Amino acid sequence: GESVGLHLPTLSVQEGDNSIINCAYSNSASDYFIWYKQESGKGPQFIIDIRSNMDKRQGQRVTVLLNKTVKHLSLQIAATQPGDSAVYFCAERGSYIPTFGRGTSLIVHP
Amino acid sequence: GAVVSQHPSRVICKSGTSVKIECRSLDFQATTMFWYRQFPKQSLMLMATSNEGSKATYEQGVEKDKFLINHASLTLSTLTVTSAHPEDSSFYICSASRGQMNTEAFFGQGTRLTVV
Protein backbone atom coordinates (compact mmCIF):
# COMPACT_ATOMS: atom_id res chain seq x y z
CA GLY A 1 0.00 0.00 0.00
CA GLU A 2 1.09 3.52 -0.53
CA SER A 3 0.09 6.55 1.45
CA VAL A 4 0.37 10.08 0.25
CA GLY A 5 2.76 12.07 2.41
CA LEU A 6 1.25 15.49 1.78
CA HIS A 7 0.04 18.04 4.25
CA LEU A 8 -3.50 17.51 5.34
CA PRO A 9 -6.42 19.58 4.08
CA THR A 10 -8.48 21.24 6.77
CA LEU A 11 -12.22 21.52 7.28
CA SER A 12 -13.44 24.10 9.78
CA VAL A 13 -17.00 23.99 11.03
CA GLN A 14 -19.09 25.50 13.78
CA GLU A 15 -20.33 23.35 16.62
CA GLY A 16 -23.72 21.93 15.75
CA ASP A 17 -23.19 22.04 12.00
CA ASN A 18 -23.01 18.93 9.89
CA SER A 19 -19.59 17.99 8.51
CA ILE A 20 -18.81 16.18 5.30
CA ILE A 21 -15.36 14.72 4.75
CA ASN A 22 -14.50 13.33 1.36
CA CYS A 23 -12.08 10.71 0.17
CA ALA A 24 -11.12 9.43 -3.26
CA TYR A 25 -9.73 5.94 -3.55
CA SER A 26 -7.68 4.46 -6.31
CA ASN A 27 -8.16 0.71 -6.37
CA SER A 28 -11.30 -0.25 -8.21
CA ALA A 29 -10.93 -3.79 -6.83
CA SER A 30 -11.26 -2.59 -3.23
CA ASP A 31 -14.40 -3.93 -1.66
CA TYR A 32 -14.11 -2.85 1.92
CA PHE A 33 -13.68 0.67 3.26
CA ILE A 34 -13.13 2.08 6.70
CA TRP A 35 -13.12 5.52 8.23
CA TYR A 36 -10.73 6.20 11.09
CA LYS A 37 -10.48 9.10 13.51
CA GLN A 38 -7.08 10.10 14.83
CA GLU A 39 -6.74 12.48 17.71
CA SER A 40 -3.48 14.28 18.31
CA GLY A 41 -0.78 11.98 19.62
CA LYS A 42 -2.92 8.86 19.39
CA GLY A 43 -3.40 5.97 17.03
CA PRO A 44 -6.34 5.86 14.61
CA GLN A 45 -9.69 4.69 15.94
CA PHE A 46 -12.28 2.83 13.92
CA ILE A 47 -15.41 4.87 13.23
CA ILE A 48 -17.43 3.05 10.62
CA ASP A 49 -16.97 0.68 7.72
CA ILE A 50 -18.80 -0.16 4.54
CA ARG A 51 -18.62 -3.00 2.06
CA SER A 52 -18.81 -2.47 -1.64
CA ASN A 53 -22.21 -4.09 -1.95
CA MET A 54 -23.67 -1.11 -0.09
CA ASP A 55 -23.77 2.57 -0.94
CA LYS A 56 -24.73 3.91 2.46
CA ARG A 57 -24.29 2.93 6.04
CA GLN A 58 -25.30 4.79 9.17
CA GLY A 59 -23.89 4.77 12.65
CA GLN A 60 -24.39 6.99 15.62
CA ARG A 61 -24.20 10.55 14.23
CA VAL A 62 -22.09 9.31 11.32
CA THR A 63 -23.00 8.18 7.84
CA VAL A 64 -20.69 6.80 5.20
CA LEU A 65 -21.56 7.05 1.52
CA LEU A 66 -19.83 5.03 -1.15
CA ASN A 67 -19.89 5.84 -4.85
CA LYS A 68 -18.06 3.09 -6.66
CA THR A 69 -18.62 4.64 -10.06
CA VAL A 70 -16.35 7.57 -9.27
CA LYS A 71 -14.41 5.80 -6.51
CA HIS A 72 -15.48 8.26 -3.88
CA LEU A 73 -16.20 7.84 -0.21
CA SER A 74 -17.62 10.40 2.20
CA LEU A 75 -18.13 10.62 5.93
CA GLN A 76 -20.94 12.74 7.25
CA ILE A 77 -20.97 13.78 10.89
CA ALA A 78 -24.21 15.18 12.18
CA ALA A 79 -24.32 17.92 14.82
CA THR A 80 -20.55 18.18 14.98
CA GLN A 81 -19.12 18.61 18.46
CA PRO A 82 -15.75 19.96 19.67
CA GLY A 83 -14.79 16.38 20.57
CA ASP A 84 -15.03 15.51 16.89
CA SER A 85 -11.96 17.65 16.19
CA ALA A 86 -9.36 15.24 14.82
CA VAL A 87 -7.86 13.97 11.63
CA TYR A 88 -10.06 11.61 9.65
CA PHE A 89 -8.67 8.99 7.31
CA CYS A 90 -10.37 6.70 4.91
CA ALA A 91 -8.82 3.32 4.22
CA GLU A 92 -9.50 0.79 1.51
CA ARG A 93 -8.79 -2.88 1.66
CA GLY A 94 -8.58 -4.56 -1.69
CA SER A 95 -6.03 -6.95 -0.32
CA TYR A 96 -4.67 -7.76 3.10
CA ILE A 97 -2.96 -4.39 3.24
CA PRO A 98 -5.08 -1.37 4.12
CA THR A 99 -4.27 1.69 2.09
CA PHE A 100 -4.84 5.04 3.72
CA GLY A 101 -6.12 8.15 2.10
CA ARG A 102 -4.59 11.53 2.62
CA GLY A 103 -6.62 12.48 5.67
CA THR A 104 -8.60 15.59 6.55
CA SER A 105 -8.15 17.68 9.66
CA LEU A 106 -11.53 18.61 11.11
CA ILE A 107 -11.60 21.66 13.37
CA VAL A 108 -14.79 22.34 15.27
CA HIS A 109 -15.26 25.84 16.62
CA PRO A 110 -17.47 26.25 19.72
CA GLY B 1 -13.51 -3.88 19.29
CA ALA B 2 -10.23 -5.68 19.69
CA VAL B 3 -7.39 -4.13 21.66
CA VAL B 4 -3.89 -3.51 20.42
CA SER B 5 -1.35 -2.31 22.92
CA GLN B 6 1.77 -0.49 21.81
CA HIS B 7 4.67 0.19 24.13
CA PRO B 8 6.28 2.52 24.92
CA SER B 9 4.07 5.48 24.12
CA ARG B 10 7.01 7.85 24.22
CA VAL B 11 10.72 7.29 24.09
CA ILE B 12 13.73 9.56 23.91
CA CYS B 13 17.02 8.02 22.95
CA LYS B 14 20.50 9.15 22.10
CA SER B 15 21.73 9.16 18.55
CA GLY B 16 23.39 5.88 17.68
CA THR B 17 21.41 3.73 20.08
CA SER B 18 18.66 1.26 19.22
CA VAL B 19 15.06 1.39 20.32
CA LYS B 20 12.52 -1.42 20.42
CA ILE B 21 8.80 -0.82 20.10
CA GLU B 22 6.34 -3.57 20.98
CA CYS B 23 2.92 -4.15 19.52
CA ARG B 24 0.62 -6.67 21.21
CA SER B 25 -2.83 -7.85 20.31
CA LEU B 26 -4.47 -8.43 23.68
CA ASP B 27 -7.61 -10.35 22.88
CA PHE B 28 -7.21 -11.82 19.44
CA GLN B 29 -4.64 -13.56 17.31
CA ALA B 30 -3.02 -11.22 14.86
CA THR B 31 -1.92 -13.11 11.80
CA THR B 32 -0.75 -9.89 10.23
CA MET B 33 0.68 -6.76 11.73
CA PHE B 34 1.46 -3.51 10.02
CA TRP B 35 3.96 -0.84 10.97
CA TYR B 36 3.43 2.76 9.99
CA ARG B 37 5.34 5.96 10.33
CA GLN B 38 3.63 9.30 10.55
CA PHE B 39 5.12 12.77 10.27
CA PRO B 40 3.27 15.77 11.71
CA LYS B 41 0.13 16.68 9.79
CA GLN B 42 0.67 13.88 7.30
CA SER B 43 -0.96 10.57 6.55
CA LEU B 44 0.20 7.19 7.74
CA MET B 45 3.01 5.77 5.66
CA LEU B 46 3.17 2.01 5.61
CA MET B 47 6.65 0.78 6.43
CA ALA B 48 6.23 -2.96 6.47
CA THR B 49 3.83 -5.83 6.77
CA SER B 50 4.66 -8.76 8.98
CA ASN B 51 3.05 -12.15 9.08
CA GLU B 52 3.55 -14.40 12.04
CA GLY B 53 6.48 -16.71 11.62
CA SER B 54 7.81 -15.23 8.41
CA LYS B 55 9.99 -12.34 7.34
CA ALA B 56 8.45 -8.92 7.08
CA THR B 57 7.68 -7.37 3.72
CA TYR B 58 9.08 -3.87 3.55
CA GLU B 59 7.73 -1.03 1.47
CA GLN B 60 9.96 0.55 -1.11
CA GLY B 61 12.44 2.93 0.41
CA VAL B 62 12.29 1.44 3.91
CA GLU B 63 15.62 0.00 5.02
CA LYS B 64 15.07 -3.44 6.47
CA ASP B 65 18.42 -3.38 8.28
CA LYS B 66 17.50 -0.09 9.89
CA PHE B 67 13.99 -1.06 10.92
CA LEU B 68 14.07 -4.62 12.18
CA ILE B 69 10.70 -6.27 12.50
CA ASN B 70 10.03 -9.48 14.35
CA HIS B 71 6.65 -11.21 14.50
CA ALA B 72 7.46 -14.27 16.51
CA SER B 73 4.00 -14.97 17.87
CA LEU B 74 0.39 -14.34 16.98
CA THR B 75 0.13 -11.65 19.63
CA LEU B 76 3.43 -9.81 19.44
CA SER B 77 5.38 -7.91 16.84
CA THR B 78 8.37 -5.70 17.52
CA LEU B 79 9.98 -2.89 15.57
CA THR B 80 13.59 -2.08 16.40
CA VAL B 81 15.03 1.16 15.12
CA THR B 82 18.72 0.47 14.94
CA SER B 83 21.44 3.09 15.24
CA ALA B 84 18.80 5.79 15.52
CA HIS B 85 19.44 9.26 14.19
CA PRO B 86 17.49 12.49 14.67
CA GLU B 87 15.81 12.04 11.28
CA ASP B 88 14.27 8.83 12.61
CA SER B 89 12.29 10.90 15.10
CA SER B 90 8.65 10.31 14.26
CA PHE B 91 5.37 8.79 15.39
CA TYR B 92 5.35 5.04 14.83
CA ILE B 93 2.05 3.18 14.80
CA CYS B 94 1.31 -0.51 14.59
CA SER B 95 -1.89 -2.18 13.61
CA ALA B 96 -2.99 -5.77 13.84
CA SER B 97 -5.33 -7.79 11.73
CA ARG B 98 -6.76 -11.25 11.88
CA GLY B 99 -5.40 -11.50 8.38
CA GLN B 100 -8.70 -11.97 6.67
CA MET B 101 -9.62 -9.75 3.81
CA ASN B 102 -12.40 -7.26 4.37
CA THR B 103 -11.87 -6.97 8.07
CA GLU B 104 -10.66 -3.97 9.94
CA ALA B 105 -7.21 -3.55 11.34
CA PHE B 106 -6.93 -2.42 14.95
CA PHE B 107 -4.40 0.23 15.86
CA GLY B 108 -2.06 0.70 18.75
CA GLN B 109 -1.84 4.06 20.44
CA GLY B 110 1.41 4.93 18.71
CA THR B 111 4.96 5.59 19.89
CA ARG B 112 6.51 9.02 19.77
CA LEU B 113 10.23 8.52 19.16
CA THR B 114 12.60 11.41 19.70
CA VAL B 115 16.27 10.92 18.90
CA VAL B 116 18.58 13.49 20.42
User: In B28-85, which ranges are continuous DSSP H helix?
Assistant: none
- Do you find a cis peptide bond into B8, omega within 30 degrees of 0? yes
Confidence class for position B102, pLDDT limits 50, 70, 90? low
| Chain A residues within 8 Å of chain B (Cβ atoms) | 1-8, 31-32, 34, 36, 41-46, 49, 51, 89, 91, 93, 95-103, 105
- Neighbouring residues of B47: CB distance < 8 A, sequence distance ≥ 6: B35, B36, B37, B58, B59, B62, B67, B79
φ and ψ of B8, to 5 deg:
-85, 170
Q: Which of these, A87, A83, A90, A44, lies nearest to A65 by C-alpha position? A: A90
φ and ψ of A100, to 5 deg:
-95, 140
Check B46 against A41: CB less than 8 A apart.
Answer: no
A contacts of B59 (beta carbons < 8 Å): 1-2
CA B48 distance to own-chain centroid: 8
| Minimum CA–CA partner of A48 in chain B | B104
| Percentage above 90 pLDDT, chain B | 67
| Chain B residues within 8 Å of chain A (Cβ atoms) | 1, 4, 6, 32, 34, 36, 39, 41-46, 49, 59, 91, 93, 95, 97, 99, 101-110, 112
φ and ψ of B31, to 5 deg:
-65, -35
Q: Which of these, A70, A64, A25, A28, lies nearest to A46 by C-alpha position? A: A64
Check B95 against A98: CB less than 8 A apart.
Answer: yes
pLDDT at B99 over 80: no
φ and ψ of A14, to 5 deg:
-90, 145
Q: How far is A99 from chain B (nearest CA, A)?
A: 8
Q: How far is B33 from chain A (nearest CA, A)?
A: 10
d(CA A98, CA B105): 8
B contacts of A32 (beta carbons < 8 Å): 101-103
Instruction: Go through chain A and tell me how many residues it has.
Output: 110
pLDDT at B14 over 80: yes
Q: What 3-state class would DSSP assign to B86?
A: helix
Q: What 3-state class would DSSP assign to A21?
A: strand
Task: Name which of B99, B107, B108 is nearest A96 (Cβ-Cβ).
Answer: B99
Phi-psi region of B91 (alpha: psi -120 to 50; beta: other; left: phi over 0): beta
Mutate to test the interface with B, among A3, A27, A51 (most CBs of B within 10 A): A3
The pLDDT assigned to B115 comes to: 97
pLDDT at B58 over 90: yes
What rounded mean pLDDT belongs to chain B? 91
Per-residue pLDDT tens digits of chain A, which is 110 residues long = 333 334 678 999 999 999 999 998 888 888 889 999 999 999 999 899 999 999 999 999 999 999 999 999 999 999 999 999 999 999 887 666 677 777 899 999 99
pLDDT at B103 over 80: no
d(CA B101, CA A49): 13
| Minimum CA–CA partner of A100 in chain B | B44
